């Protein structure tokens, strides 16, 4: 992306290498007690909207609330039609919604393409945050053959109005591990402006070759990249973060986990898919001790000294 670092990488490493594992000072709040995985939360003038991976009855699940803490109401399906390039029964994963300067809302999602079946990223548009969203274009937005699948889109708008799309490449057992990428978008939200940049990859043993679900927060002097690691069906699935002086990196992973089953005192099983909005970190976790449904949770979050802190 051509970013120039304003702070030496060594300084960032020193600031975050000693970051302690986070400890929640309050119990996580269960907002949606039914399947609502991979949440994306959007604050608008008319309230809060949340989007999630599709269920048996929805392509992209939708929920609404007047306030961040709820009460939340599951309100149906946000995606109005199946894209021409996607399998109707292949699933629609990990959505993200952003509003463009002209007022248009864009929904990004991952779906299995008809040819080959690998996961690719698509986009759909609407005039209202709740949709219904109409698929845009006859081809995927991102579908890199060497990635072995692209999922988990997430947008970030910088202070100067520049908009970026982050996502995960799946990786493969015999090739590069999974990684998180960023690519600048043009004003239409569907055309890229330049090549993509790798932000980080799964290079730690505890990550089990998985990094995914990126979400970026800009603090006073740093960019914080939250991401999930380990296998999502495992109790060891957790949320971490990395920091950099610019969105182009280099991102330095904090020492220790930020959200995990253990750190949350067992109150949430496998917390992941985090999204930070309006002083809250939203995330999912398995419900009822099983592996059939993931509910939506939240905790307050602040950033004293550019370091995330729960509660």
Q: Convert the chain into a string of H (helix), E (strand) and C (coil).
A: CCCCCCCCHHHHHHHHHCCCCCCCCCCCEEEECCCCCCCEEEEECCEEEEEEECCCCCCEEEEEECCCCCCCEEEEECECCCCCCECCCCCEEEEEEEECCCCCEEEEEEEEECCCCCEEEEEEEECCCCCCEEECCCCCCECCHHHCCEEEEEEEECCCCCEEEEEEECCCCCCCCCEEEEEEECCCCCCECCCCEEEEECCCHHHCCCEEEEEEEECCCCEEEEEEECCCCCCCCEEEEEEECCCCCCCEECCCCCECCCCCCCCCEEEEEEEEECCEEEEEEECCCCCCCEEEEEEEEECHHHCCEEC
Per-residue pLDDT at 13: 41
Do 311 and 304 touch, CB atoms closer than 8 A? no
Q: Answer yes or no: 160 catalytic.
A: no
Q: Are 268 and 257 in contact (CB under 8 A)?
A: no
Extents of the domains making up the chain: 29-310
Phi, psi at residue 12, to the nearest 5°? -65, -40
Asked if 16 and 252 touch (Cβ cutoff 8 Å), the reply is yes
pLDDT at 171: 86
pLDDT at 119: 97
Whether 38 sits among the annotated catalytic residues: the reply is yes
pLDDT of residue 23: 45
Pick the CATH number of 29-310 from 3.40.50.1010, 2.115.10.20, 3.40.50.300, 2.60.40.1180: 2.115.10.20
Give pLDDT tens digits along the chain (311 positions). 333 233 333 333 444 443 444 444 579 999 999 999 999 999 999 999 999 999 989 999 999 999 999 999 999 999 999 999 999 999 999 999 999 999 999 999 999 999 889 999 999 999 999 999 999 989 999 999 899 999 999 999 999 999 999 999 998 767 789 999 999 999 999 999 999 999 999 999 999 999 999 999 999 999 999 999 999 999 999 999 999 999 999 999 999 999 999 999 999 999 999 999 999 999 999 999 899 999 999 999 999 999 999 98
Nearest of 308, 304, 158, 302 to residue 241 by alpha carbon:
308
Reading across the β-sheet that carries 119-126, which strands appear in turn? 92-99, 105-112, 119-126, 134-135
Catalytic residue among 150, 152, 212, 269: 212
pTM of the model: 0.92
Q: Residue 94 — left, alpha, or beta (φ > 0 → left; ψ -120 to 50 → alpha)?
A: left
d(CA 242, CA 209): 16
From the list 35, 38, 152, 230, the catalytic residue is: 38
Paired with 74 in beta bridges are 63
């Amino acid at each position: 992306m051509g970013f120039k670092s304003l702070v030496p990488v060594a300084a960032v490493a020193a600031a975050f290498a000693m970051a302690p594992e986070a400890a929640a000072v309050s119990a996580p709040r269960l907002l949606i007690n039914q399947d609502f995985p991979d949440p994306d939360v959007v604050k608008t003038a008319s309230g809060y909207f949340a989007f999630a991976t599709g269920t048996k009855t929805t392509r992209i699940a939708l929920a609404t609330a007047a306030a961040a803490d709820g009460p939340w109401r599951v309100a149906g399906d946000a995606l109005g039609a199946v894209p021409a390039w996607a399998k109707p029964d292949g699933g629609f994963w990990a959505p993200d919604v952003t509003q463009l300067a002209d007022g248009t809302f864009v929904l990004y999602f991952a779906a299995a393409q008809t040819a080959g079946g690998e996961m690719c990223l698509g986009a759909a548009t609407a005039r209202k945050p709740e949709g219904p969203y109409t698929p845009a274009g006859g081809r995927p937005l991102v579908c890199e053959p060497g990635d072995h699948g692209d999922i988990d889109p997430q947008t970030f708008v910088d202070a100067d109005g520049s908009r970026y799309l982050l996502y995960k490449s799946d990786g493969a057992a015999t090739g590069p591990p999974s990684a998180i990428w960023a690519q600048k978008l043009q004003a239409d939200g569907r055309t890229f402006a330049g090549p993509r940049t790798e932000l980080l990859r799964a290079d730690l043993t505890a990550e089990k070759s998985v990094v995914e679900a990126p979400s970026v927060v800009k603090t006073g002097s740093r960019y914080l990249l939250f991401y999930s690691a380990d296998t999502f069906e495992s109790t060891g699935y957790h949320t971490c973060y990395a920091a950099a002086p610019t969105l182009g990196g280099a991102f330095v992973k904090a020492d220790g986990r930020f959200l995990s089953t253990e750190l949350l005192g067992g109150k949430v099983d496998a917390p992941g898919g985090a999204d930070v909005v309006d002083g809250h970190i939203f995330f999912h976790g398995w419900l009822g001790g099983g592996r059939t449904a993931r509910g939506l949770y939240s905790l307050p979050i602040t950033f004293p000294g550019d370091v995330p802190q729960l509660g």
